[in-house]
Chain A
Amino acid sequence: MSRVITITSGKGGVGKTTSTANLGTALAMQGAKVAVVDADIGLRNLDVVMGLENRIVYDLVDVVEGRCRLRQALIKDKHFSDLFLLPAAQTRDKDAVGPEDMIALANQLRTEFDYVIIDSPAGIEGGFRNAIAGADEVLIITTPEVSAVRDADRIIGLVEAAGKGSPQLIINRIKPRMVNRGDMMSTDDVLQILAIDLIGAIPDDETIVTSTNRGEVAVLDRTSRAGRAFSDVARRIAGEQVPMPTLEDEQGVFDKLFGMLARRPRGSER
């Protein structure tokens, strides 16, 4: 049974597009047929994040307005033959499509793919409503910051009011060191406030920037901590029980290790 999952946030710039690209790719790596859809019409980005910008001929609005068939607009990924991108229009605005168009599009994609992952624009207006219209499930992205969490709370209310059930949460850009110092809210702090289920905690990681620079995604890089965290989220989406390592603990283990290393010379003196 195929699933249509929309990734949204309220506040802009918290990692929706990054999450869509990484989760879409990770699900394809697991062997699923995946379509990622850029619903941020007028601010096309998912194509450059996935390094597919040079292959675009048609876009989502062309499909909706009947200028091409869906198949013609779908761009095949560089690495996975079962991963496709439906790009947003760059020169149109959000009013070019409506919720009914998005529902029809989602249902059409559903017949061909296991997962349809939709990258929503920020905000609470038309673009957001379009992006969730065809969704079975919604994932909310937030960072552990006051403004992002506040906006996430607002979005959670709107998603529930739209009859999409309780969304699941990804907390992105966590800095374990800052959390340990008490200078950044922990995943528990954020969860207590938002009171929805957590499906992923992603560290702030420079490999997100370097991989995006190249038009690759972090899940392809086994050394990327953020990439591994996104792969874990994809496995949880697929229904696997993957333990949620608290990033703060990871840091703690690291510190303990350092403590042990520092003590060892004395211990080995005898």
Chain B
Amino acid sequence: MGVLDGLFRRRERSSDIARERLLTVLVHDRVKLTPELLEQLKAELSAVIARYVPTVDPDTIEVTLFRGELIDHLKAEFPLRRQR
């Protein structure tokens, strides 16, 4: 990063960064979903989805926990291989 970048880029408030990081980490802490469990969840989900949608690519599945306004969400995305 150039010196000018450092000079002109508005610094993000570190308190905001702290808050965002905490919110994310606490969603995970509270749900008690360890990285291993998350992997297991992905594997089982992909097996189920593949039974109905064979074009799902098990390696691209993404499962994320995130914090919403009022409730927290567990979001899963299943990208499909394009077919004609």
Q: Which residues of A contact B (CB under 8 A)?
A: 145-146, 149-150, 153-154, 157, 179, 181-186, 189, 193
Given A179-B15, A183-B14, A193 contacting B23 (CB threshold 8 A): yes
A184, B14: Cα distance in complex, Å: 7
- Given B13, B14, B16, B22, which contacts A193 in the complex, CB threshold below 8 Å? B22
Overall SS of chain B's interface: helix
Interface size class of B (residues with CB under 8 A): 10 to 19
**B16 touching A182, Cβ below 8 Å:** yes
Overall SS of chain A's interface: helix
Q: Whole-angstrom distance from the CB of B37 to the nearest CB of chain A?
A: 18
Given A150-B29, A153-B29, A153-B30, A184 contacting B15 (CB threshold 8 A): yes
Contacts of A150 in B (CB 8 A): 22, 25-26, 29
Contacts of B30 in A (CB 8 A): 153, 157
11 contacts between A and B (CB under 8 A): A146-B25, A150-B26, A157-B30, A182-B13, A182-B14, A183-B15, A185-B18, A185-B19, A189-B15, A189-B19, A193-B22
Q: Whole-angstrom distance from the CB of B71 to the nearest CB of chain A?
A: 13
**A146 touching B26, Cβ below 8 Å:** no
A85, B39: Cα distance in complex, Å: 52
A146, B15: Cα distance in complex, Å: 9
Interface residues of B in 20-53 (CB under 8 A from A): 21-23, 25-26, 29-30
Contacts of B21 in A (CB 8 A): 146
Q: Which residues of B contact A (CB under 8 A)?
A: 13-16, 18-19, 21-23, 25-26, 29-30
Q: Beyond A146-B25, A149-B22, A182-B14: 17 further Cβ-contacts under 8 Å?
A: A146-B21, A150-B22, A153-B26, A154-B29, A179-B15, A181-B13, A182-B15, A182-B16, A183-B13, A183-B15, A185-B18, A186-B15, A189-B18, A189-B19, A193-B19, A193-B23, A193-B26
**CB closest chain-B residue, reference A145:** B18
A153, B14: Cα distance in complex, Å: 21
A205, B39: Cα distance in complex, Å: 46
A142, B13: Cα distance in complex, Å: 21
Given A183-B14, A183-B15, A185-B15, A146 contacting B22 (CB threshold 8 A): yes
Q: Whole-angstrom distance from the CB of A100 to the nearest CB of chain B?
A: 29
Contacts of B25 in A (CB 8 A): 146, 150
**B29 touching A146, Cβ below 8 Å:** no
Shortest Cβ-Cβ A-B pairs, 7 listed: A182-B13, A185-B15, A183-B14, A182-B15, A189-B19, A146-B18, A185-B18
A183, B14: Cα distance in complex, Å: 5
Q: Whole-angstrom distance from the CB of A244 to the nearest CB of chain B?
A: 19
A189, B20: Cα distance in complex, Å: 10
Q: Whole-angstrom distance from the CB of B46 to the nearest CB of chain A?
A: 31
Q: Whole-angstrom distance from the CB of A40 to the nearest CB of chain B?
A: 25
A189, B14: Cα distance in complex, Å: 12
